[in-house]
Structure 1
């Protein structure tokens, strides 16, 4: 039974590497997991469908955040940002990638729209990337860094949810820890992601890369020239709406309410005409629906491997030969976390699973609360970068492939897996031994 998770994740990964559609790959992997666990095909599919509801909240959040991002774009404020980036960063490849990583980082804490900004901001920059011969794999790494590192490190916005999930999981499993200690525990693993980003920007993807030949794009505005937009009162009100969405999201811890607040404020401020609200929501749904559906199917896959007992069996089998060597224990636990998260595709969805399983092992082995939190947080974050079903990879691809020149697996998943999972593993492992 312990091989079910590993084999099913390998099936999903191999199919994705062979360019099979991500949704089809995840469904086949889920069915394979069910069959190996003794279910028939019908039972496996039903368990998959039943588990999809667990991510309904996340899917609705993404769709509303997509509508919020479209509304923000409608005001022209993103055009101001793009024009500014083009003006000051043309010819400065390294600075461009660092700026993209910085802008992406704001999406987790300061302006909590998560991946919804990417299909708005990135497609207008694609011509600039080709002109500067920027390697889009470097852009994908920069975007994924901004989608992950801030919530791993900073307990605000999405980071507050991530840290709270670690805290709740540990407390419910019998550990004693504070939210402040959770934040401290994630500093070293987050530094690993910074190292990975710098390696990608300054070494791996530093050289010029000739752009691919023209391919029919999926975004109509990719080849349009950006018009000049002057900063005005509508943009001030847009910023107020963004801040309102942030405040509500932090107070309530609910992304849906945050996004809905931002949308309502933009309509009440007449920044977005009421007559355009229906189209804006429809555009947001169109932009984010494919990603939301992948998350739903990934949740179904997670349900299959959890309900069949495959995850428990994997951890029990691993703990059976761990012994009392902390270095070996933390190494094996991180490998288990990597495999689970690669399959589920969500750091947030993995944390409750690994917390319930890791805490008893860590308590018995004498790990400190800080070291245990570092292990759980790192195990959850591992695999998110590089997973074909993760929003941290689906988001960058949604923007970079707007002109059909970017492959999800080879240009996003493989580069982000290499540059983030390896340093995250090393730094998370070190944190568990020294904290």
Structure 2
């Protein structure tokens, strides 16, 4: 049964690379995992459906955030930011990508809205990207860096949650560590992420790229985002800012993206920034923008449930540990490869940590890894695959903004570039951290 995860993830990857929609690819991969583990198609389907509730909160959050984003776009306030960027970043593509990466970093720690800013900020910039011949793969790489590197390395916001999960799971499995130890352990893997960003921005995607051509009518979605742009600050813009601050305040106060987004939507109606009778229009556009991400996250949760319940993840780690020798270098490399496979399939680094920590901690203690090295291994193994996974919000988020005009492919323009630029250096620096710490 130890090969079930490998085969299932390979099916997912191969189907996705063949341009089969990721949602269908995950369903097929999940069914294959269940059948290979001895379950019937009916039993596997029940497992898949029963596990989908694990991401129900996230899915609803993304739908509401999509509706809120469309309303903000309708207000025209994003036009001020677009004009400011156009004036200051004209002809400075590399600087622009670093600025986008910096804004994305703020979404993880300073203003923890995660991917919610992407459908608000990116679609109005797409026409400008095309005029500058910006390679959107570079933009995707910049966004994914900002969505991933901060939570790995900085114990604030989502980073605090991630590192607390690592510390808590290690302690629960018999290896006491402090939060500061986990933070220290993730410094080297974080440097690997920075290296990947520099290569992507300064080398891989620095040249001009002609914008893709789409069929007539394929770019209608972006009209709902920036079609009402104004250059004179109005009462509607003021109340839009108030609505954004209200949404952020409720989210931080209640720790709920759902309540935060819902607050913003209600405020936009109450302040008459958007017409109440056009509510159906905004809901439909919001679902169109973020609905795919929501459904993919639901299926990803069900897929993770299938892999966990079949016992194939545990069997894979056990089988890998039985083949290991005494070399810390080899052990670290194999453990990270296992983490890469699991996270690509599950799509969530946060959800992967509890699964692998229960298996990695006893193994690391047995072969003599220090708590610092063990934390680095678990954190890196969990983060590996988050970039490049078809089912990760670190890739789905950038695609939701960059594909608003139908010119960006999720797999080839987001997943493949982010996989190459972040998972390879992350793997190398993760192995280095496990060996030297």
TM-score in terms of structure 2 length: 0.91
Cα gap change, 1:157/1:69 in structure 2, threshold over 3 Å: closer, same or farther?
farther
Q: Which residue of 2 aligns with 1:337?
A: 339
Deviation of the 1:148 alpha carbon = 1.1
Deviation of the 1:255 alpha carbon = 3.2
Q: Which residue of 2 aligns with 1:76?
A: 76
Q: Which residue of 1 aligns with 2:298?
A: 296
Asked whether the 8 Å contact 1:50–1:300 carries over to 2, the reply is yes
Q: Which residue of 1 aligns with 2:123?
A: 123
Q: Which residue of 2 aligns with 1:133?
A: 133
* Distance in 2, Cα, partners of 1:2 & 1:374: 24
Asked whether the 8 Å contact 2:72–2:120 carries over to 1, the reply is no
Q: SS of the residue aligned with 1:220?
A: helix
Deviation of the 1:366 alpha carbon = 2.6
* Distance in 1, Cα, partners of 2:21 & 2:313: 25
Q: More deviation in 70-79 or 396-405?
A: 70-79
Q: Which residue of 2 aligns with 1:390?
A: 392
Q: Which residue of 1 aligns with 2:221?
A: 220
Deviation of the 1:261 alpha carbon = 4.8
Asked whether the 8 Å contact 2:140–2:413 carries over to 1, the reply is yes
Q: SS of the residue aligned with 1:189?
A: helix
Q: SS of the residue aligned with 2:221?
A: coil
Q: Which deviations, in whole Å up to 9, do the C-alpha atoms of 1:75-106 show, x marking residues without a partner?
A: 43322212211221122111121122122222
Aligned pair 1:311/2:313, yes or no? yes
Q: Across the two proteins, how many residue pairs are aligned to each other?
A: 435
Q: Which residue of 2 aligns with 1:89?
A: 89
Q: SS of the residue aligned with 2:80?
A: helix
1:271-420 to 2 correspondences below 5 Å: 280=282, 283-420=285-422
* Distance in 1, Cα, partners of 2:336 & 2:353: 12
Deviation of the 1:4 alpha carbon = 0.2
* Distance in 2, Cα, partners of 1:225 & 1:72: 11
Q: Which residue of 1 aligns with 2:200?
A: 200
* Distance in 2, Cα, partners of 1:180 & 1:269: 45
Deviation of the 1:202 alpha carbon = 0.5
* Distance in 1, Cα, partners of 2:281 & 2:210: 37
Deviation of the 1:332 alpha carbon = 1.0
Q: SS of the residue aligned with 1:229?
A: coil
Q: SS of the residue aligned with 1:221?
A: helix
* Distance in 1, Cα, partners of 2:293 & 2:14: 20
Q: Which residue of 2 aligns with 1:430?
A: 432
Asked whether the 8 Å contact 1:90–1:128 carries over to 2, the reply is no
* Distance in 2, Cα, partners of 1:136 & 1:353: 34
Q: Which deviations, in whole Å up to 9, do the C-alpha atoms of 1:190-225 show, x marking residues without a partner?
A: 221111011011111111112223434244335966
Q: Which deviations, in whole Å up to 9, do the C-alpha atoms of 1:277-307 show, x marking residues without a partner?
A: 7765554334222101001111111111110
Q: SS of the residue aligned with 1:128?
A: helix
* Distance in 2, Cα, partners of 1:273 & 1:177: 54
Q: Which residue of 2 aligns with 1:152?
A: 152
Q: Which residue of 2 aligns with 1:4?
A: 4
* Distance in 2, Cα, partners of 1:153 & 1:276: 43
- The unaligned stretches of length 5 or more in structure 1 are none
Deviation of the 1:362 alpha carbon = 1.6
Q: SS of the residue aligned with 2:222?
A: coil
Asked whether the 8 Å contact 2:396–2:410 carries over to 1, the reply is yes
Asked whether the 8 Å contact 1:126–1:400 carries over to 2, the reply is yes
* Distance in 2, Cα, partners of 1:130 & 1:174: 54
Q: Which residue of 1 aligns with 2:231?
A: 229
Deviation of the 1:414 alpha carbon = 0.7
Aligned pair 1:98/2:67, yes or no? no
Asked whether the 8 Å contact 2:76–2:228 carries over to 1, the reply is no
- The unaligned stretches of length 5 or more in structure 2 are none
TM-score in terms of structure 1 length: 0.91
Q: More deviation in 422-431 or 8-17?
A: 422-431
* Distance in 2, Cα, partners of 1:419 & 1:62: 26
Asked whether the 8 Å contact 1:9–1:342 carries over to 2, the reply is yes
* Distance in 1, Cα, partners of 2:251 & 2:413: 33
CA-atom RMSD in angstroms: 2.5
Q: More deviation in 34-43 or 251-260?
A: 251-260
Asked whether the 8 Å contact 2:78–2:229 carries over to 1, the reply is no
Asked whether the 8 Å contact 2:189–2:380 carries over to 1, the reply is yes
Q: SS of the residue aligned with 1:134?
A: coil
Q: SS of the residue aligned with 1:144?
A: helix
